[in-house]
């Protein structure tokens, strides 16, 4: 979420509260937290807690137990498990938003996600530019990828399979030194939008966090994402899959 969107959400919330008399949300905005694709640290010293943005349905694990402004907090805290049902007693979004939340819960509710942890892949720096090339039909899995993007304290590259139902999200969590960098890969297979199958907690569409692989980067210059290229070799079902960007 951009800083502009954060402020817009705050303005709307303030306007609603002016009429409804609700207490202001004094939590940190996400943009002021240490955060990445599916995790955030907005302070606190409590157990990790699961929260989802009430406006856009983006879900994250908050490692210190303090969620960002505008996020609904799961009732079960660290015990939240999607198969157990809808975990928010005060968050009843529209059907489409609920579907997005459930989709993320099916991927993320197995264990808390943090800046670093059990899901990490190793990162190496191979500073030989000819070794890397842009993703192409011959050079990487799938048919296309979303350009490298900066997201808080992370860099994210999203790959899509040939049928656009398969999606791999590569998150590169930046550290203060090269040795502190980690990467993780989220794999999801989404249903077609006209599928008659109701999306409920516990269903299976190939969602998993892949934990076996090595990311090779050609630069640590995050100020120039156009020059940021790499190759990720992962082991999936006893075979090696290569992503290149």
pLDDT at 13: 44
Could you tell me the pTM of the whole model? Answer: 0.80
Q: Which domain holds residue 45?
A: 3-108
Residues 28 and 135 both lie in one domain: no
pLDDT at 188: 83
Taking the C-alpha atoms of residue 163 and residue 219, their distance in angstroms, rounded to an integer, is 31
Is the pLDDT higher at 193 or at 90?
90
Residues 99 and 130 both lie in one domain: no
Residue 219 lies in a domain: yes
| Final residue before a domain boundary, out of 78, 108, 138 | 108
- pLDDT beyond 80 at 161: no
Is the pLDDT higher at 73 or at 137?
73
Residue 235 lies in a domain: yes
Residues 6+ apart with CB under 8 A from 223: none
Beta carbons of 9 and 127 less than 8 angstroms apart: no
**171-214 pLDDT, tens per residue?**
999 999 999 999 999 988 766 555 545 556 655 566 788 888 89
Residues 94 and 12 both lie in one domain: yes
Residue 24 lies in a domain: yes
Residue 113 lies in a domain: no
**Domains identified in the chain, total number:** 2
Residues 78 and 191 both lie in one domain: no
Instruction: Give the angle subtended at the CA of 91 by the CAs of 89 and 93, to the nearest 5°.
Output: 140
- pLDDT beyond 90 at 117: no
**32-86 pLDDT, tens per residue?**
999 999 999 999 999 999 999 999 999 999 999 999 999 999 887 656 766 677 8
Residues 145 and 51 both lie in one domain: no
pLDDT at 193: 52
pLDDT at 17: 47
Residue 186 lies in a domain: yes
Q: Rounded mean pLDDT of 6-30?
A: 56
Residues 128 and 240 both lie in one domain: yes
pLDDT at 11: 42
Residues 234 and 141 both lie in one domain: yes
Residues 60 and 131 both lie in one domain: no
Residue 152 lies in a domain: yes
Residues 129 and 233 both lie in one domain: yes
- pLDDT beyond 50 at 4: no
Residues 24 and 68 both lie in one domain: yes
Residue 137 lies in a domain: yes
Residues 47 and 149 both lie in one domain: no
Residue 117 lies in a domain: no
């Amino acid at each position: 979420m951009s800083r502009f969107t954060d402020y817009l959400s705050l303005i709307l919330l303030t306007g609603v509260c002016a009429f409804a008399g609700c207490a202001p949300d004094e939590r940190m905005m996400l943009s002021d937290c240490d955060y990445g694709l599916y995790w955030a640290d907005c302070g606190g010293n409590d157990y990790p807690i699961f929260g989802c943005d009430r406006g856009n349905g983006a879900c994250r694990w908050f490692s210190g137990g303090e969620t960002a402004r505008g996020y609904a907090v799961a009732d079960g805290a660290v015990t939240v498990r999607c198969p157990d049902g809808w975990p928010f007693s005060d968050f009843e979004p529209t059907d489409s938003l609920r579907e997005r939340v459930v989709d993320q819960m099916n991927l993320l509710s197995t264990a808390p996600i943090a800046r670093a942890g059990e899901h990490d892949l190793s990162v190496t720096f191979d500073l030989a530019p000819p070794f890397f090339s842009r993703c192409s039909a011959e050079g990487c899995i799938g048919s296309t990828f979303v350009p490298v993007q900066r997201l808080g304290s992370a860099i994210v590259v999203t790959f899509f399979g040939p049928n656009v139902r398969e999606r791999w999200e590569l998150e590169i969590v930046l550290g203060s030194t090269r040795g502190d960098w980690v990467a993780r890969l989220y794999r999801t297979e989404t249903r077609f939008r006209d599928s008659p199958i109701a999306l409920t907690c516990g269903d299976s569409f190939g969602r998993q966090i892949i934990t076996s692989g090595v990311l090779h980067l050609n630069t640590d210059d995050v100020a120039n994402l156009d020059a940021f290229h790499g190759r990720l070799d992962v082991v999936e079902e006893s075979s090696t899959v290569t992503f290149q960007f």
